Amino acid sequence: MTEELIIRAARDIIRAKKVVALTGAGMSVESGIAPFRGEGGIWEKYDPEEYAYIDIVRTNPGKSWILLSEMQKEITKAQPNPGHISLAELERLGYLSSIITQNVDGLHHEAGNKNIIEFHGNHRWVVCMECGKRVKCTEISLEKLPPRCECQGVFKPDVIFFGEAIPYEALTKSNQEARSCEVMLVIGTSAVVQPAASMPGIAKSSGATIIEINIEETELTGYISDYLIKGKAGEVLPKIVNKIKNDAANLSV
């Protein structure tokens, strides 16, 4: 079944004039980064209401940084997995226009993709909430929390917290990409956090084929997505790319 769907996905990608990927935390699980929901998820350990709202980051940054320092350590250790590398190869081969990612780990950049919309920002950078100075997260010490800038302002990761709006440019560009693609690959996201979760619906209503790659069914399965390839991103994506590379000429396009 999965093999048939891999062939179908390869064919859909080859046929499409424009392919866009929407990625979520499941994309980076095989790189050793915990997802947010489900077993072992970050929100099982840390209640987002207590740690991840922008008001808390401003009023009690020491508390938020307990979670943030853990995430930062995990992210700086992580390397792209075969799923990330496959998406970079798809872009290099000319089959992938852009990635809209909810992930803040920077692993699509590390893998070599060029056209990436970081919908929720990038945790590899921190910004001073006082003077606006932006530095690499590896340049700050996490020995004493919260980390502070030379101006004594508190640093926050350059990411979107609950209660913050998505930057206008990221939102506009993502909407454009969703509206103009013919295939959207929806990889490793539970698709419950808005507005990112609305991108597959926008693509679908513009006529795109929606292909989900996930280890389990989501809110989109059987409703927005045309089909679900059940499996790990790091296993399914290399198979799709291999199929495209080997069979492109032979597939009836």
Residues taking part in catalysis? 120
Q: Which of 3, 44, 47, 216 contacts ligand OAD by CB under 6 A?
A: 216
Binding of residue 10 to ligand OAD (CB under 6 A): no
Per CB under 6 A, the segment of 14-22, 36-44, 174-182, 238-246 that binds ligand OAD is 36-44
Binding of residue 35 to ligand OAD (CB under 6 A): yes
Question: Which positions from 42 to 81 touch ligand OAD by CB under 6 A, shown as an x/- string?
Answer: ----------------------------------------
Q: E strand or H helix at 84, and its extent?
A: helix 82-92
> Residue 47 carries which side chain, given as an amino acid letter?
D
**Least gap, CB of 49 to ligand OAD (angstroms):** 11
Binding of residue 29 to ligand OAD (CB under 6 A): yes
Q: Which of 232, 237, 240, 243 contacts ligand OAD by CB under 6 A?
A: 232
Q: Which of 84, 108, 120, 204 contacts ligand OAD by CB under 6 A?
A: 120
Whole-angstrom Cα distance, residue 76 to residue 203? Answer: 33
Q: What tokens does 216 get?
A: 């389990």
CB atoms within 10 A of CB 63: 16
Binding of residue 30 to ligand OAD (CB under 6 A): yes
Q: Closer to ligand OAD at the Cβ: 215 or 251? A: 215
Among 87, 66, 60, 85, which Cα is nearest to 154's? 60
Per CB under 6 A, the segment of 19-27, 135-143, 198-206, 244-252 that binds ligand OAD is 19-27
Among 119, 166, 132, 130, which Cα is nearest to 58's? 130
Question: Any idea what DSSP says for residue 47?
Answer: -
Whole-angstrom Cα distance, residue 237 to residue 43? Answer: 27
Residue 102 and residue 119 in contact, taking contact as beta carbons nearer than 8 Å: yes
Contacts with ligand OAD by CB under 6 A: the residue count is 24
Whole-angstrom Cα distance, residue 153 to residue 25? Answer: 30
Residue in the structure block whose two tokens are 């996930």: 214
**Residues engaged in binding ligand OAD (CB under 6 A):** 24-26, 29-30, 35-38, 41, 102, 120, 160, 188-190, 193, 213-216, 218, 232-233
